[in-house]
């Protein structure tokens, strides 16, 4: 398992960014993405994010709700994701 992962690769903080994240991802030439989000995140926000990415033909290869950001949990999530597209 890699010792380092450069995350996040894309950060934007400003009004309206959620609906434009597909534009920003496309600008960075992201063609396929994995989304990790808090399991209690409002489903409307998740839907808007997904729609924005799809509007730019960005493939979502994994959607993973996360219940804990404890190191062990995050390491397991990345271990399972390794090599999956």
Q: Structural domain boundaries of the chain?
A: 18-81
Q: Among 1.10.150.80, 3.40.50.1970, 3.40.50.1100, 1.20.1560.10, what is the CATH number of 18-81?
A: 3.40.50.1970
Query: What are 13-42's pLDDT values in tens digits?
Result: 889 888 999 998 898 888 988 888 899 999
pLDDT of residue 1: 47
Q: Which residues contact 28 (CB under 8 A, 6 or more apart)?
A: 9, 10
Nearest to 34 by CA among 17, 13, 58, 55: 58
Given the structure tokens 């960075």, which residue do they identify?
28
**pLDDT band at 75; cut points 50, 70, 90:** confident
């Amino acid at each position: 398992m890699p010792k380092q992962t450069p995350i996040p690769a894309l950060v934007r903080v400003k009004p309206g960014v959620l609906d434009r994240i597909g534009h920003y991802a496309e600008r960075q030439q992201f063609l396929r993405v994995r989304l990790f989000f808090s399991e209690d995140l409002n489903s409307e926000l998740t839907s808007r994010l997904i729609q924005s990415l799809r509007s730019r033909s960005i493939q979502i290869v994994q959607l993973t709700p996360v219940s804990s950001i404890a190191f062990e949990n995050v390491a397991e999530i990345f271990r399972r994701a390794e090599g999956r597209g």
